[in-house]
Structure 1
Amino acid sequence: MPKDGGIGASTKRREDLRFLNGKGRYTDDINLRGQAYAWFVRSPVAHGTLNSVDTAAAAGMPGVLRVFTGADFEGIGGLPCGWQVTDKHGNPMLEPAHPVLAQGKVRHVGDPIAVVVAETEAQARDAAEAVAFDIDELPAVIDMKAAVQDGAPLVHDDIGSNLCYDWGFVEENKAAVEEAFAKADHVTTLELVNQRLVPNAMEPRVAVGDYDPWTDHHTLYTTSQNPHVIRLLMGAFVLGIPEHKLRVVAPDVGGGFGSKIFHYAEEAFCTYAAKQLERPVKWTAQRSESFITDAHGRDHVTTIQLALDKEGHFQALRTDTYANMGAYLSTFAPSVPTWLHGTLMAGNYKTPLIYVNVKAVFTNTVPVDAYRGAGRPEATFQLERVIDKAAREMGIDPIEIRRRNFIQPDEFPYQTPVAVEYDTGNYQATMDKLIEIADLSGFEKRLAESKARGKLRGLGVNCYIEACGIAPSNLVGQLGARAGLYESATVRVNATGSISVFTGSHSHGQGHETAFPQVVAEMIGIDASQVEIVHGDTSNTPMGMGTYGSRSLAVGGSALVKATNKIIDKAKKIAAHLLEASEADIELKDGKFSVAGTDKEVDWAGVTLAAYVPHNYPLEELEPGLEETAFYDPSNFTYPAGAYACEVEVDPDTGKVTIESFAAADDFGNIVNPMIVDGQVHGGLGQGIGQALLEGAAYDENGQLISGSYMDYAMPRASDVPFYKVDHSCATPCTHNPLGVKGCGEAGAIGSPPAVVNAVVDALARAGHDITHIDMPLSPSRVWAAMQQ
């Protein structure tokens, strides 16, 4: 292994040196000469007719350059949706317009009405208060089930319904599922809510638009997980800017978790306004603004039913879900409760028949889209909660009922009844490892200790599987995706042997600048310190889809491997020429090319120098230089899986839940950097525990977000989470990508919420309470109220 760390080394993240020293370069750190500042005027009501906007007073205030309204964007495209879903009748979803600035109507609190651009941010903010608007407030619809009833207020009058689509999957299974339920020995039914969450990345969103009138060239600096996608969506569908005239730059990004995938109105506005004013325009979100502008996550209401035989074997599963879209369709919102959710309802189990129904609904709330896990946490929560309830009803140990239904190692590849095919896995092994690292044999002793202190102790277990690296492009295209889902890499070898890798992936906390060089270093046999990663700028990176869905290594890393293999193939030809040998006899090891069976060799730097100083070079066969590009389009998802255990204590007097221990046994396939993987799992567990116990976006009946600040929205703190026990030794490598990796970034957030809820329900059941479910977040008041029933 290279001394600076190749594949499998827990190399410290090189990017952390600048982050921890305050030297990161985030979008808000970018200040351009002559820039002006934008301040958005947003709707204070959730639903209303926008009769007029009077900008005269604001326009005359000090420093104001211009005040923009929806009228300035007439004839300009609205924000596009990147995925079209077809309903169970074969009809396309209803797809209302999403203007950059409100036109004719406001549809949620925070909907932008006008924007003041001024010399300073303070001047823009002051002038924004002088913008007068006349809104006739209309009844707001917040509850999803109420929204689809006859006579409900319409969020979008022009489409005539609040039902975006009614999706059934797999529709041809429906009759067989009904028959299986009719014949089942036992049926478990559970109604649950997967509550709305606010992503709350550490770095708020920022957009800086710039325009060069002499070249007609636009530049947008933005906090994005996928700058190439923003360039495509904004340029082609909103502002009509040719891609060669539009550069999108995403520098360091302080967390995204999905909320920075999407194309937002502020990006389009700043780009547009910069041209109108012929000077840079900058907008920085206030934290309270982020609560009502950044896409929210989750927000499903579900009834799930599980049919079992008398031994506890799963016979069939059916779900009925209402999924909130909010007031508009965000970029990938329609795909989350359908293709990223319905396809995962088989979980780790051999359920022969499954039917999933999803009704996507428009309401007068902030748009909802992908948030860490995106559909898979919702599927896992439903499935693992109903399995736990079934085990309790049938008197079967919760681990045993799962083992009885696991897909077995010799059954892979396994075709599920919900379209996807798992290529590999070993769910028995991860469960065995979980029992070991969680010390479940010692639970009874810990239970007695808690009881002696007057506390209720509970144990919750669950399993999860997720689909990462959404693929392949031709399949998702048939399912409604309006973009390819490949990834790209350009590997540029310099004359002295150092390497620059230009990737279409983008890092917002995943450690690409450390892990990607480990892959290249391992393949060539050089120090990882000789490899740099370049990303986030559409002007110097190949077209790529960015980072989300745990795709960085599985898709982006695979593109990197393909490009590096091209480099190695050409370098072997050069080495063969230098060593006067056959290319077939050339071997590469530890950064040296040698002739098999001899002591003849040339080092990596000798070959790379020859590529750029071709004095002794096979010019008749090869071009000079050493640079290659590759695009990788996966043939399948990858399928990380695992088993989690949580132990809680519940205070019977207050209902307060304390997590005493948490263990996670994950199968991520091959591991490039174990330390980074541990960190990703830790972060995901923290977010999942936050959802289980603390977080939840709440609206009142008028559509006001009453949890619109950290005073009312409870984020997890260090004291809310335990020290975790994590393990990823039970690896079954992915069979269809060159690294054998599966993805790890979302696992913790997927598997932890049901583990926590299962543990709390177990604690209450052991104390004699007949409680089968409590909706998240399991706040002290909710738990206490449940115990009083």
Structure 2
Amino acid sequence: MANPNGIGASVRRREDARFLTGRGSYTDDFKRPSMTHAVFVRSPHAHARVAGIDATEALAAPGVVAVLTGADMAADNVGSLPCGWQIHSKDGSPMKEPPHYPLARDRVRYVGDAVAMVIAESRDAARDAAELVMVDYEELPAVASSTAASDASAALVHDDAPGNLCYDWHLGDKAAVDAAFAQAAHVATIDLVNNRLVPNAMEPRSALGEFDAATGEYTLTTTSQNPHVIRLLMGAFVLGIPEHKLRVVAPDVGGGFGSKIFHYGEEASVTWAARKVGRPVKWTADRSESFLTDAHGRDHVSHAELAMDRDGNFLALRVSTLANLGAYLSTFAPSIPTYLYATLLAGQYKTPAIYAEVKAVFTNTAPVDAYRGAGRPEACYLIERLVDVAAGVVGLDKAEIRRRNFIPAAAMPYQTPVALQYDTGDFAKNLDMALPMVDYAGFPARKAAARARGKLRGIGFATYIEACGIAPSNVAGALGARAGLYECAEVRFHPTGSVTVFTGAHSHGQGHETTFAQLVADRFGIPIENVEIVHGDTSRIPFGMGTYGSRSLAVGGSALVKAMDKVERKAKKIAAHMLEAAETDIEVKDGRFTVAGTDKALGIGDIALQAYVPHNFPLDELEPGLDEQAFYDPKNFTYPNGCHVCEVEIDPETGVTQVVAFTAVDDFGRVINPLIVEGQVHGGIVQGIGQALFENCVYDESGQLITGSYMDYCMPRADDVPSFTVAYHEDQPCTHNPLGVKGCGEAGTIGASAAVMNAVMDALSDHGITHLDMPATPEKVWRAIQAATPAMAAE
């Protein structure tokens, strides 16, 4: 009998009980004896020379323990925050990699750059004293956008990065693309901006550093998506702490969306300061600090051209992108506009030739790195907006031009012109499922009815594909990754038959404590409540690379399967001995170890007890215990894909866009927990809608952050989105991992923005409007309509 809480069951998240009742354990909840509090003094200027710091008044303030600066760190040989990925330019030269110190030393390079750290008995005391630290700034010219930074006369963010250029990179076959364009019957062109975003996780970043003078051991408790990576980067490159003397703990984490992957200066600062002052040091960002200092996302300016034959078949794609990296290189920043973006420019289409150029520049803004989807939403948005333009150029229906150019399922595995090889996918099926769900045939009638009510109605498609579970390590290394991208798991059966799973993946809302437990319950036929999932603590987990890029099940779950395979093999040996049978005669089904052709059987609990109480145990063949670990290094990326369809109505009198319907058909391979998958898709769609209609991070020309609070940075609310219709199919499982899973965490965000904007442009086509950049705010839409109306009247 199948386990009712096993694979495929919609089990409610076990962790929700503590989250919904306020019993979670987050970094800011931790209190330690004699704990102090840190507040950072941050630059009010986007670019300035630090001529001097006077902390005299601050040190005399009540409750102040210390004021530390970059000079103090330099004296202790504290290093620069490392970058985890290197990119080489077209000419083979390495990217520019200027130092990024936790506390700025000679110059600050963006508003929010930390120059000093005030440590006091309370947070309020530290905050008050921070205002007394006098910093002598000599303001310098700033560049706040990628286009401004690229100007020949622009001020330099770093003296050793001429032209503010980090790298000038390319991918694809330029000659083949040029030749295809020379023969094209039609060319579609688009210029677009992928707007900058602030991540806005529910829980702001926080870090607590401790030092034990008796043992020489450090502990950092932090809001991280990958504690082992933080331990490696901070210990080896910044503070010079041996790994066995450094413990990093990431407890409950309230959302990440990529912004908590990276090693931030505050983590190194509190860890270093804990030894300096001889007491624990805790820092928690307020929301304003989060806006200023959390790594931002997106921020691309692109030009793209699509060559087609007379029938609308795609011949070649040419893309030029300018990417803003901010003031410093965040941990994985160089890889986002290159190997996580340009390699996805094939999309779902059989375009024979593709060539992409990416220039990445430094600006006097917060660093830019991965944000939910990380390069894949940028690629999908560009392709799917361009395909809509192409449909207009050729005169084809927007669904038909996609169907005509899909890579057929029979062509899998399919080698794209931009490095990746898709293993499975039936893209036409996604579209075939979606069209009746959205009543595409009935849309003209709905559009006419809306027009009668004075509204503009539009429908938009986005057929996306993403690459998840970055792999394998040797390929990632060849592309510039400075770490392996495997995962680790340990499965420990206890004598009574309960299980503890140690995973290097990290949950910050994904539901690992439920889905990973389902895998074990399904495999061994035990109650799900008898399975404990442990993550986020480097002192308990063998190793791990954390959670990002929808890798948890595809990579972390596969490591868990490999560990369970080892447990099963050993359990079979024990069962064979206990049942007096040959090991080859032992069959495993629904958690029972049975002698084939007989009713002789044992449960895993009986075997576990025998393993730990080896009174009748083949000690000459087996060691006691039932505890195995495994590492899993994927053979390829996984490729989730789908078709998202959005329908909007626009009020031309106000410019307000309402999303009236959103449908997502996705191929995630095998689905472990449909309820959790649906929740992940819903959340991703909301974030995609947020980028398309509401969110926009804006700096002025001097580098001041204009959208530095929720008063200026608009987030989607519940009444801004409809109920979503979601569906998936499982007939295209991943071919190279043992679970057949592909990943679902980023899909909604990748498809949604393009689907929404295509719907907006379809609605505005009634007024002859052909392009708007995200976000399609009411003011922007209204102004476009007002500008178009006189022209229409003149016609």
Q: Which TM-score band (shorter chain)?
A: over 0.9
User: CA separation in 1, counterparts of 2:191 and 2:161?
Assistant: 30
**Alignment match, 1:339:** 339
User: CA separation in 2, counterparts of 1:590 and 1:379?
Assistant: 43
Q: Which amino acid aligns with 1:446?
A: R
What secondary structure is seen at the aligned counterpart in 2 of 1:233? helix
1:746-785 matched pairs, under 5 angstroms: 746-765=746-765, 767=766, 769-785=767-783
**Alignment match, 1:355:** 355
1:80-123: per-residue Cα shift (whole Å, max 9, x none)?
00000011111100000001101110100000010100011111
User: CA separation in 1, counterparts of 2:540 and 2:232?
Assistant: 15
1:710-755: per-residue Cα shift (whole Å, max 9, x none)?
0000000001111000001254100000000000000000000111
User: CA separation in 2, counterparts of 1:273 and 1:770?
Assistant: 60
What secondary structure is seen at the aligned counterpart in 2 of 1:572? helix
User: CA separation in 2, counterparts of 1:491 and 1:248?
Assistant: 21
**Alignment match, 1:372:** 372
Contact 1:76/1:238 (CA < 8 Å) preserved in 2?
yes
Change beyond 3 A, Cα 1:532–1:547 = same
Contact 2:103/2:114 (CA < 8 Å) preserved in 1?
yes
**Alignment match, 1:281:** 281
1:321-370: per-residue Cα shift (whole Å, max 9, x none)?
00000000000000000000010000000000000100000000000000
**Alignment match, 2:700:** 700
Q: Which amino acid aligns with 2:669?
A: G
1:471-493: per-residue Cα shift (whole Å, max 9, x none)?
00000101100000000000000
User: CA separation in 2, counterparts of 1:353 and 1:554?
Assistant: 30
Contact 1:2/1:527 (CA < 8 Å) preserved in 2?
no
Q: Which amino acid aligns with 1:153?
A: A
1:83-232 matched pairs, under 5 angstroms: 83-170=85-172, 173-232=173-232
User: CA separation in 2, counterparts of 1:513 and 1:708?
Assistant: 35
User: CA separation in 2, counterparts of 1:442 and 1:678?
Assistant: 27
**Alignment match, 1:8:** 8
User: CA separation in 2, counterparts of 1:273 and 1:649?
Assistant: 55
Q: Which amino acid aligns with 1:131?
A: V
Q: Which amino acid aligns with 2:116?
A: A
User: CA separation in 2, counterparts of 1:71 and 1:83?
Assistant: 28
Contact 1:438/1:725 (CA < 8 Å) preserved in 2?
no
Q: Quick check: 1:400 aligned with 2:400? A: yes
User: CA separation in 1, counterparts of 2:542 and 2:399?
Assistant: 47
Structure 1, unaligned stretches of length 5 or more? none
Structure 1 residue 524 displacement after superposition: 1.4
User: CA separation in 2, counterparts of 1:654 and 1:8?
Assistant: 46
Q: Which amino acid aligns with 1:144?
A: S
What secondary structure is seen at the aligned counterpart in 2 of 1:490? strand
Contact 2:3/2:525 (CA < 8 Å) preserved in 1?
no
1:627-684: per-residue Cα shift (whole Å, max 9, x none)?
0000000000000000011100010111110000000000000000000000000000
Structure 1 residue 315 displacement after superposition: 0.3
Contact 2:151/2:163 (CA < 8 Å) preserved in 1?
no
**Alignment match, 1:417:** 417
What secondary structure is seen at the aligned counterpart in 1 of 2:725? strand
Structure 1 residue 157 displacement after superposition: 1.4
Structure 1 residue 160 displacement after superposition: 3.6
User: CA separation in 2, counterparts of 1:788 and 1:403?
Assistant: 35
Deviates more, 1:149-158 or 1:114-123: 149-158
User: CA separation in 2, counterparts of 1:555 and 1:158?
Assistant: 39
What secondary structure is seen at the aligned counterpart in 1 of 2:195? strand
User: CA separation in 1, counterparts of 2:315 and 2:604?
Assistant: 59
User: CA separation in 1, counterparts of 2:221 and 2:31?
Assistant: 10
What secondary structure is seen at the aligned counterpart in 2 of 1:435? helix
User: CA separation in 1, counterparts of 2:631 and 2:301?
Assistant: 39
1:493-537: per-residue Cα shift (whole Å, max 9, x none)?
000111000000000000000000111111112222211100000
User: CA separation in 2, counterparts of 1:180 and 1:715?
Assistant: 43
Q: Which amino acid aligns with 2:388?
A: D
What secondary structure is seen at the aligned counterpart in 1 of 2:9? coil
What secondary structure is seen at the aligned counterpart in 2 of 1:597? coil
User: CA separation in 2, counterparts of 1:412 and 1:421?
Assistant: 9
**Alignment match, 2:43:** 43
**Alignment match, 1:519:** 519
Structure 1 residue 451 displacement after superposition: 1.9
Structure 1 residue 393 displacement after superposition: 1.8
Contact 1:407/1:427 (CA < 8 Å) preserved in 2?
yes
1:127-159: per-residue Cα shift (whole Å, max 9, x none)?
000000111111111121221222210101134
**Alignment match, 2:603:** 603
What secondary structure is seen at the aligned counterpart in 1 of 2:325? strand
**Alignment match, 2:577:** 577
What secondary structure is seen at the aligned counterpart in 1 of 2:783? helix
Contact 2:491/2:499 (CA < 8 Å) preserved in 1?
yes
Change beyond 3 A, Cα 1:161–1:76 = farther
1:279-306: per-residue Cα shift (whole Å, max 9, x none)?
1000010001100110000000000110
What secondary structure is seen at the aligned counterpart in 2 of 1:292? helix
Deviates more, 1:579-588 or 1:157-166: 157-166
Q: Which amino acid aligns with 1:107?
A: R
Q: Quick check: 1:786 aligned with 2:784? A: yes
**Alignment match, 1:500:** 500
Structure 1 residue 3 displacement after superposition: 4.5
Q: Which amino acid aligns with 1:369?
A: D
Q: Which amino acid aligns with 2:777?
A: S
User: CA separation in 1, counterparts of 2:159 and 2:137?
Assistant: 16
User: CA separation in 1, counterparts of 2:756 and 2:623?
Assistant: 60
Contact 2:7/2:672 (CA < 8 Å) preserved in 1?
yes
User: CA separation in 1, counterparts of 2:594 and 2:731?
Assistant: 34
Contact 1:668/1:731 (CA < 8 Å) preserved in 2?
no
User: CA separation in 1, counterparts of 2:635 and 2:351?
Assistant: 24
**Alignment match, 2:82:** 80
Structure 1 residue 439 displacement after superposition: 2.1
1:590-632: per-residue Cα shift (whole Å, max 9, x none)?
2221100011112221111000000111111000000000000
User: CA separation in 2, counterparts of 1:505 and 1:377?
Assistant: 23
Contact 1:2/1:526 (CA < 8 Å) preserved in 2?
no
Q: Which amino acid aligns with 1:290?
A: S
Deviates more, 1:53-62 or 1:545-554: 53-62
Contact 1:500/1:531 (CA < 8 Å) preserved in 2?
yes
User: CA separation in 2, counterparts of 1:656 and 1:381?
Assistant: 22
User: CA separation in 1, counterparts of 2:393 and 2:786?
Assistant: 22
Identity percentage of aligned residues? 64
Aligned residues: 785
Contact 1:2/1:528 (CA < 8 Å) preserved in 2?
no
Q: Which amino acid aligns with 1:599?
A: D
**Alignment match, 1:244:** 244
What secondary structure is seen at the aligned counterpart in 2 of 1:602? strand
Q: Which amino acid aligns with 1:788?
A: Q
User: CA separation in 2, counterparts of 1:303 and 1:356?
Assistant: 10
Structure 1 residue 264 displacement after superposition: 0.2
What secondary structure is seen at the aligned counterpart in 2 of 1:683? helix
Contact 1:521/1:527 (CA < 8 Å) preserved in 2?
yes
RMSD: 0.9
1:735-750 matched pairs, under 5 angstroms: 735-750=735-750
- TM-score w.r.t. length of structure 1: 0.99
**Alignment match, 1:640:** 640
Contact 2:671/2:730 (CA < 8 Å) preserved in 1?
no
Q: Which amino acid aligns with 2:149?
A: A
Deviates more, 1:324-333 or 1:581-590: 581-590
Structure 1 residue 2 displacement after superposition: 4.6
Contact 2:554/2:743 (CA < 8 Å) preserved in 1?
yes
**Alignment match, 2:790:** none
User: CA separation in 1, counterparts of 2:614 and 2:451?
Assistant: 78
